[in-house]
Amino acid sequence: MTSPLTPAGSTSAPGGVPLPEEELDTERHGAAPGAGDRPRSLASDAWRDLRRSPIFLISAVIIAVLVLMAAVPSLFTNAEPDQCNLQLSRQGPSGSAWFGYDLQGCDVYARTVYGARASILVGVFTTIGVAVLGSIVGMLAGYYGRWADTLLSRLTDIFFGIPLLLGAIIVLATFPSDVGTPSWQTIGKVVLALSILGWTSVARIMRSTVIQVKHADYVQAAKALGGGSRRILLSHILPNAVAPVIVYSTIVLGVFVALEATLSFLGIGLQAPVISWGIAIDQAQTYVRQSPHMLLFPSAFLSVTVLAFIMLGDAVRDAFDPKLR
Segment 234-242 shows an average pLDDT of 84
- Domains of the chain (ranges plus CATH)? 45-324 (1.10.3720.10)
pLDDT at 323: 59
Residue type, 252: V
* Average pLDDT value over all residues in the chain: 82
* Cα-based distances in Å from 213 to 143, 204, 220, 249, 289: 9, 14, 10, 20, 56
Distance CA 65, CA 53 (A): 19
Q: Tell me: pLDDT of 22 over 50.
A: no
pLDDT at 237: 86
pLDDT in tens, 294-316: 888 999 999 999 999 988 888 88
Note the helical H segments in the chain.
21-29, 42-51, 54-71, 108-144, 146-160, 164-174, 183-198, 200-213, 217-224, 229-232, 238-241, 243-265, 277-284, 293-320
How far apart, in Å, do the first and last CA atoms of the chain sit?
Answer: 44
Q: Tell me: pLDDT of 191 over 90.
A: yes
